[in-house]
Structure 1
Amino acid sequence: MMIMDEQIKASEVWLTGLDGEDLGIVSREEALRMAREHKVSLVCTSLMSSPPPCRLISRSAAKQDMNAQKREEKRKEQPQKTKEIRLTPHIEEHDYDTKLRQIAKMLESGSAVELTVRVQGKGKESQQAKALLERLLADLKGKGTKETGIQVSGKGAAVKVLPIE
Structure 2
Amino acid sequence: MESINFRRCSNIKELQINEEIRDREVRLIDVDGSQLGIFPSRKAMEMAFDKKMDLVKIAPNAKPPVCRIMDYGKYKYELAKKEKEAKKNQRVINVKEVRLTPNIETHDLNVKAKRAVEFLKDGDKVKVSVRFRGRELGHTEKGKEVLSEFAEITSEVGVIDKHPKLEGKNMVMYLMPKTE
Name the CA distance, whole Å, in 2 between partners of 1:100 and 1:83.
10
**Distance of aligned partners of 1:27 and 1:101 in 2 relative to their CA distance in 1, 3 Å threshold:** farther
The 5 A counterparts of 1:54-69 are 54-62=67-75, 64=77, 68=80
Contact 1:42 1:56 in 2 (8 A): yes
Post-superposition Cα deviations, 1:14-73, rounded to whole Å, max 9, x if no partner, equal 21111222222222122111111011110111322211111111142255378x4xx99x
Offset at 1:160? 8.4
Structure 2: any 5+ residue segments left out of the alignment? 1-12, 85-92, 101-108, 137-141
- Please state if 1:125 is matched with 2:146: yes
Match of 2:45 among 32, 35, 42: 32
Note the alpha carbon deviations across 1:74-121, whole angstroms, 9 max, x for none.
xxxxxxx964342775335x962x42232x3x5xxxxxx562255899
Aligned partners of 2:76, 2:170: CA distance in 1, in Å?
A: 54
Q: Please say which structure displays the higher CA radius of gyration.
A: 2
Query: Structure 1: which amino acid aligns with 2:60?
Result: L
Q: Show the 5 A alignment for 1:90-101.
A: 90=110, 91-92=113-114, 96=117, 98-101=118-121
Q: Percent identity?
A: 19
Q: Is the Cα contact below 8 Å between 1:118 and 1:129 reproduced in 2?
A: no
Contact persistence 1:119–1:129 (CA under 8 A): no
* RMSD over aligned Cα atoms: 4.2
Gaps of at least 5 residues in structure 1 are: 73-80, 107-112, 139-145
Match of 1:158 in 2: 173
TM-score, structure 1 as length reference: 0.57
Question: How big is each residue's C-alpha offset from its partner over 1:113-164, in whole Å with a ceiling of 9 and x where there is no partner?
Answer: 56225589936323223556888346xxxxxxx5x65425776533387xxx
Higher relative contact order (CA 8 A, sep 6+): 1
Work out whether residues 128 and 147 of structure 2, in 8 Å CA contact, stay in contact via their aligned partners in 1.
no
Structure-2-length-normalised TM-score: 0.53
1:3 aligns with 2:16: yes
Query: CA–CA distance in 1 between the matches of 2:116 and 2:42?
Result: 68
Alignment coverage as a number of residue pairs: 133
TM superposition outliers: structure 1 runs of 4+ over 6 Å: 132-135
Would the alpha carbon gap of residues 129 and 95 (structure 1) be closer, same or farther in structure 2, given more than 3 Å must change? Answer: closer
